[in-house]
Chain A
């Protein structure tokens, strides 16, 4: 039933009246509640855009999951420890790629590793791409377990169609601590003789 005195909604369709009611309700919402409503809209938007994105990521990580890995690459970017990497170095199974900054590579690196500084990817990659075969196993390393540059590089390489990037999980730190081969002698270990 319409109240003739109420007029803006009077005589209009049910859709029109509902719309007008919604607008009036919204107008009365305090700003914080509207802000919360905007966050709700953002959540729906994020869910839809992530579902539609070929490089979408999981909202909730599994206990052993890694942040920032697109769903499509989840099982395609394995990690290895330094010991396994040493075996790969000795058997020439993989091309080692140093993702650290160029100055750190110049200071010291794993023998045979090529330098592609991930922080300068846009300039470094075009110069170095011819040194990396699409079919080769590429062992990527950066500073340590938290640096993330090697994982980033792995994702880029997968996007570019490289087949077997592998990440050295604890990077240069674990390699150097284990005193594995390096092009220059390592400084004496802390607490060592």
Chain B
């Protein structure tokens, strides 16, 4: 059991595997940011619905977050500054998890705003998304600590 865990760890921390994880994460972040950058007003609506920020910060957050996503994603995908980008990616994913958890705990019917903010039929927040984000946090933290 321990030997299996050790070999899995060796595999995950192998340079090439870390590069691939960074590439996958980067592509995910870039893809997730595109619709939000194109429609900042719609993303601001989603941010407001989460009801976590004072109204005055909603627009600024809706503009900044996708920009951080696209910059982090690009840097990760290109394999530059992987540890710094991994740190930012981890912070972003933790923030997503907090937002999802508080929405679920408060019983809010909120659109996820994860990838698509134009559809309105897009994913609603569920604990399943929280679990998905646990995976993303694990991958980001791996790149941050071992990249």
Chain A residues packing against B (C-beta within 8 Å): 31-32, 34-35, 37-39, 41-43, 45-47, 49-50, 53, 55-61, 67-70, 118-123, 146, 148, 151-152, 155
Most chain A CB within 10 A, of B59, B60, B83, is at B59
Give B89's nearest chain A residue, CB to CB.
Answer: A35
Q: Of B41, B63, B121, which one neighbours A122 at CB under 8 angstroms?
A: B121
Q: How many residues of B contact A (CB 8 A)?
A: 40
Q: Of B55, B64, B72, which one neighbours A61 at CB under 8 angstroms?
A: B55
When chains A and B are docked, how far (Å) is the Cα of A47 from the Cα of B71? 13
Main secondary structure of the interface of B (DSSP, over half): helix
Chain B residues packing against A (C-beta within 8 Å): 37-45, 47-49, 51, 55-56, 58-60, 62-64, 66-68, 70-72, 75, 81, 83-85, 87-88, 91, 111, 119-121, 144
Interface pair A43/B58, CB less than 8 Å apart? no
Give A69's nearest chain B residue, CB to CB.
Answer: B41
The interface residues of chain A lying within 8 Å CB-to-CB of B144 are 31
Interface pair A148/B45, CB less than 8 Å apart? yes
| Given A59-B59, A61-B55, A155 contacting B67 (CB threshold 8 A) | no
The interface residues of chain B lying within 8 Å CB-to-CB of A60 are 56, 59-60
When chains A and B are docked, how far (Å) is the Cα of A59 from the Cα of B71? 19
When chains A and B are docked, how far (Å) is the Cα of A68 from the Cα of B120? 15
The interface residues of chain B lying within 8 Å CB-to-CB of A56 are 40
The interface residues of chain A lying within 8 Å CB-to-CB of B37 are 49, 53
When chains A and B are docked, how far (Å) is the Cα of A123 from the Cα of B68? 32
Interface pair A53/B38, CB less than 8 Å apart? yes
Most chain A CB within 10 A, of B55, B60, B67, B81, is at B67
When chains A and B are docked, how far (Å) is the Cα of A155 from the Cα of B117? 14
Interface pair A152/B70, CB less than 8 Å apart? no
Most chain A CB within 10 A, of B71, B111, B120, is at B120
When chains A and B are docked, how far (Å) is the Cα of A123 from the Cα of B121? 8
| Given A34-B81, A49-B67, A148-B48, A55 contacting B60 (CB threshold 8 A) | no
23 interchain pairs, CB-CB under 8 A: A31-B84, A35-B85, A37-B84, A38-B68, A38-B72, A38-B81, A38-B88, A42-B72, A46-B66, A55-B41, A57-B59, A59-B59, A60-B56, A61-B56, A67-B44, A67-B47, A67-B55, A68-B58, A68-B59, A69-B41, A70-B41, A121-B119, A122-B119
